[in-house]
Structure 1
Amino acid sequence: MTIRDIVLIALFGAIIVAFGAVPAIPVAGIPVPITLQNLAVMLAGAVLGPKRGAAATALLILLVALGLPVLSGGRGGLGVLLGPSGGFLIGFVAAAYTIGWLVARFGQGRGPGWQRAAVVSLACVVGGIGACYALGIPWLAFSAGLSLKTAALGSLAFVPGDLAKAVVAGLVAHGVRRVYPIPLK
């Protein structure tokens, strides 16, 4: 790992924390709020690649575990990681890795810019929604005492916003990578 890698990981860890300054929006009936931090997670994976993107999100998890109030609404601590949001937070690491891997594999091809941006956005959908929800929904069901079906149906409230975030992340990441190409690691 180079100094540049460490700086990029710390930078995107700080970006994820900064997106937590935007207040969380509570969802009726679900103990998990809507936040903008998963948009920053998508950006980390799409811009940095699988390993550095996952490392940036793992840095966030470490800060949360240490009790720092770095999540939306000033939340932090082991209680948050063990609570209903914990699976989604751990899912951030899987999401960033998945997005980074998909972008490295499929998002750097030739073709018009809009096509590459669409591939990056699709990678953000697969990782940012698919991978994150795959870990978050079962943990939500377990920790909140809900059935898996109820937790999954309740999580549908997040999908429209997360789809919009994936499109924004894809467009922004494509623009950043076009101006400042960073090798995906």
Structure 2
Amino acid sequence: MSTRDLVLTALFAAIIVALGLLPPIYVGIVAVPITAQSLGVMMAGVVLGAKRGSIAVLIVIALVAMNLPVLSGGRGGMTALVAPTSGFLYGWVVAAFVTGFLSERLVNAGQSSLVQTVSFFLAAVIGGIFVLYPFGIVFAAIVADVTLQKAFLGSLFYIPGDVIKAFVAALVGRAVMVGYPLLPVRA
């Protein structure tokens, strides 16, 4: 991994952590709060690609394991790694990878801006919702001792917000592609 790649992965890990400064919003259905950090995961995948995006998320998880309060609401430590929300945390790695993988395959410089934006959006929705949610739902059901159906139904509440986050990630991906055309070049 080059120095450039290390800097970019550290930068996006910092962005994910910074998005954790926004306070979590708890809803009573499931013990999983609404946070802005999943936006950072989607952006890492869209901008950095599969490998660097998932490494950025792994850095955040390593910081959590080192008992640093980098998750939304100032959470961190080993308890954050076994809480009902932890499935989403572990799913971030795969979500960033899939989002980045799809972005690498669906988006290229020769496309129109609309096609690029829509492709980034699709990559973020597939990775950040369709891939991420099964991790969170299954883990929440096991740890919180609820049925999969209840965990699934409780998670439906979060989808509209995550669709908005995917749209924002798509706009960021498009802006980076226009403003910094060499940044998305995958190693």
Alignment TM-score, normalising by the size of structure 1: 0.97
CA apart distance, 1:110? 2.9
Q: How does 1:127-142 map onto structure 2 within 5 Å?
A: 127-142=127-142
Long gaps (5+) in structure 2: none
Equivalent residue for 2:173? 173
Gaps of 5+ in 1: none
Residue correspondence of structure 1 range 16-55 to structure 2 within 5 A: 16-55=16-55
For residue 156 of structure 2, what is the amino acid of its counterpart?
L
Q: Which runs of 4+ in 1 moved over 3 A?
A: none
Once the two structures are TM-superposed, the CA of residue 109 in structure 1 deviates from its matched residue by 5.7
* Distance across 2 between alignment mates of 1:116 and 1:15: 23
For the 8 Å contact 1:49–1:184, the answer to whether it is kept is yes
Q: Identity rate of aligned residues, in percent?
A: 48
| TM-score in terms of structure 2 length | 0.96
Q: Which amino acid aligns with 2:13?
A: G
Question: Is the 1:23–1:72 Cα contact (8 Å) retained in structure 2?
Answer: yes
Map of 2:70 onto structure 1: 70
Distance in 2 between the 1:166 and 1:184 partners?
A: 21
Letter paired with 1:88:
F
Root-mean-square deviation (CA, aligned residues, Å) is 0.9
Is 1:148 matched up with 2:140? no
Separation of aligned partners in 1, 2:186 and 2:27: 35
Q: Residues 100 and 184 of structure 1 are in contact (CA less than 8 Å); yes or no, is this contact kept in structure 2? A: no
Which residue of structure 1 aligns with residue 5 of structure 2? 5
Compare the two structures and name the one with the higher strand fraction.
1
- Are 1:110 and 2:110 matched, yes or no? yes
* Partners of 2:90 and 2:108 in 1: CA distance: 27
The count of residues paired between Structure 1 and Structure 2 equals: 185
Q: Distance in 2 between matches of 1:109 and 1:175?
A: 12
Q: What's the CA shift string for 1:77-136, capped at 9, x where partnerless?
A: 111111111000011110100000000011226332011101101100000001111211
1:90 maps to 2:90: yes
